[in-house]
């Protein structure tokens, strides 16, 4: 009897039911799209941080910044012999391998960090800058001119001569080949050749970034020379998002030897047992290594700016508040329309009560109709929401993420703000990444939409049921005439 009456009433008042369902559908669709976009923003930010940190990395540890020295710190110097043979000088070359930021930690720091509470794994790396100057001097020619007095010396001009040098700079990262799943190289994919093997801790092999390989016309089997040492290229890596962390990747021991930095590193990459408890892990790491600067993924996220940050802020504030307001308005309108429909059915419900229907049964009938209407609205809303999320994914803009150079919230000893000249913050200070916005819809979001549909139906049914429960058979008899 309940379902027969329900089907008949919904069919008879399908236009009003469709209006209520449409209002709920718009609210639910907006909630789905906003949540999908917010999820896409979160994934885009994770993609940016992944390209900076490396897979499986929750925080980095670098040397705490030191006050600048009076001499301004170490500067690269190049020395050449200004000599030549005949008209053409002898070609000369010199290069300098420098630690990025000139700040290093002892390699033993990795063990100290790994023993800290909450740390699952830790691995060290060494970031280097290589500046190579190559060219030649050419000797000038003195041409004597006639003239001059008896007591005057020869006169003439010096022609030709000079110097022609080219400068090439690139970055090198010394990676711990025994931990391939952590560090900057882990955010790149080997697209040609192979990666490092765990046994190649001291081998003269290298992996080069695909963009650098294309620029220098390098490939697997070729060699790359760093400070006079040749390394065989065994693989070409392509960054999965953004720019690569370095142009050339070498085993850590080889990088330390090139920079004359034995048992030194610039960065410790840390994986926590629980990514939700980074605060406690950070405190434990600072206790184990007091003179360090710790930068978490949340710290780096705070430095992300550009259109990605702006769009994320709009999605989380304006978008969510707008969806809440629209959804509340849809619930209210659905309730008012259902209550109005009940008012037009006074004769019907009054007659049913006169025939023996109790108020609870009448109220249940109204709530049942409202819930079914809400489910119809939920189905329409899910369809509209999926279409909107697909449109954002298919035609969404490419967003730009920029990292500030201030060091973002990296904390040093005593909890102060840091972000020394070395490490992840410095390495990514000038990086601009382009990410494509997506709007993924998860099963939990669909479940939320169904819940909102049922809730909307219950809200509308509560309005109408309250109105129906107050009707009396006398109200119906008064309208019979």
Each residue of 104-125: pLDDT tens digit? 889 899 999 999 988 888 999 9
φ, ψ dihedrals at 393, nearest 5°: -70, -40
The confidence score (pLDDT) of residue 422 equals 37
Q: pLDDT tens, 388-401?
A: 889 888 887 777 76
pLDDT higher than threshold 50 for residue 430: no
Q: In this prediction, what percent of the chain has a pLDDT beyond 90?
A: 15
CB 268 within 8 A of CB 61: yes
Which residue did the predictor score with more confidence, 283 or 75?
A: 283
Collapse the DSSP code of 88 into the 3-class scheme (helix H, G, I; strand E, B; otherwise coil) and give the result: strand
| Residue 200: per-residue pLDDT | 93
pLDDT digits (tens, 9 = 90+) for 302-352: 666 666 666 666 666 666 777 778 778 777 777 777 776 666 666 666 666
User: Is there a contact between 244 and 237 (Cβ–Cβ < 8 Å)?
Assistant: yes
Position 410 scores a pLDDT of 44
What is the token pair recorded at 91?
Answer: 């070609």
pLDDT over threshold 70, residue 289: yes
Residue with the larger pLDDT of the pair 386 and 374 = 386
Q: pLDDT tens, 438-462? A: 888 888 888 888 888 788 777 777 7
Q: Check whether 33 has a pLDDT greater than 80.
A: yes
Domain boundaries, the chain: 2-51+307-477, 76-134+161-290
Residue 28, pLDDT score: 85
What CA–CA distance (Å, rounded) separates 63 from 103? Answer: 6
Specify the higher pLDDT residue, 296 or 237: 237
Instruction: Specify the higher pLDDT residue, 94 or 331.
Output: 331
CA distance 393 to 375: 27
């Amino acid at each position: 009897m309940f379902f027969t009456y329900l089907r008949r009433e919904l069919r008879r008042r399908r236009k009003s039911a469709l209006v209520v369902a449409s209002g709920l559908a718009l609210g639910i669709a907006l909630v789905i799209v906003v949540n999908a976009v917010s999820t896409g923003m979160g994934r885009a930010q994770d993609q940016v941080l992944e390209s900076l940190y490396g897979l499986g990395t929750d925080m980095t540890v670098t040397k705490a910044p030191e006050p600048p020295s009076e001499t301004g710190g170490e500067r690269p110097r190049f020395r050449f012999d200004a000599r030549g043979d005949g008209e053409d000088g002898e070609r000369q070359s010199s290069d300098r391998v420098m630690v990025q930021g000139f700040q290093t930690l002892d390699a033993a720091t990795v063990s100290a960090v790994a023993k800290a509470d909450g740390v699952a794994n830790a691995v060290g790396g060494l970031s280097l800058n290589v500046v190579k100057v190559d060219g030649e001097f050419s000797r000038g020619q003195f041409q004597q001119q006639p003239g001059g007095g008896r007591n005057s010396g020869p006169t003439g001009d010096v022609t030709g001569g000079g110097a022609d040098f080219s400068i090439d700079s690139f970055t090198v990262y010394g990676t711990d080949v025994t931990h391939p799943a952590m560090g900057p190289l882990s955010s790149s994919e080997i697209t040609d050749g192979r990666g490092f093997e765990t046994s190649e801790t001291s081998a003269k092999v290298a992996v080069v970034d695909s963009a650098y390989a294309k620029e220098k016309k390098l490939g697997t089997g070729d060699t790359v020379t760093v400070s006079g040492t040749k390394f065989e290229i065994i693989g070409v890596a392509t960054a999965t998002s953004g720019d690569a962390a370095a142009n050339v990747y070498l085993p850590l021991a080889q990088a330390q030897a090139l920079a004359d930095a034995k048992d030194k590193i610039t960065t410790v990459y840390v994986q926590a047992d629980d990514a939700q408890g980074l605060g406690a892990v950070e405190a434990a790491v600072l206790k184990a290594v007091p003179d360090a600067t710790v930068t978490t993924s949340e710290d780096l996220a705070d430095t992300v700016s550009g259109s990605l940050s702006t769009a994320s802020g709009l999605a989380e504030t304006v978008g969510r508040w707008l969806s809440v307001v629209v959804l509340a308005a849809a619930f209210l309108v659905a309730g008012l329309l259902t209550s109005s429909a009940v008012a037009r059915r006074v004769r019907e419900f009054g007659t049913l009560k006169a025939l023996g229907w109790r108020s609870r049964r009448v109220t249940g009938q109204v709530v049942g109709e409202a819930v079914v209407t809400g489910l119809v609205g939920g189905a329409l809303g899910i369809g509209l929401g999926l279409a909107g999320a697909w449109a954002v994914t298919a035609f969404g803009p490419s967003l730009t993420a920029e990292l500030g150079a201030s060091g973002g919230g990296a904390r040093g000893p005593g909890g102060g703000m840091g972000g020394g000249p070395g490490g992840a913050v410095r390495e990514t200070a000038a990086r601009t990444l382009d990410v494509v916005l997506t709007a993924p819809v998860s099963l939990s979001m669909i479940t939320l939409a169904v819940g909102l549909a049922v809730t909307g139906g219950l809200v509308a049914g509560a309005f109408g049921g309250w109105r129906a429960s107050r009707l009396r058979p006398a109200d119906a008899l008064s309208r019979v005439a």
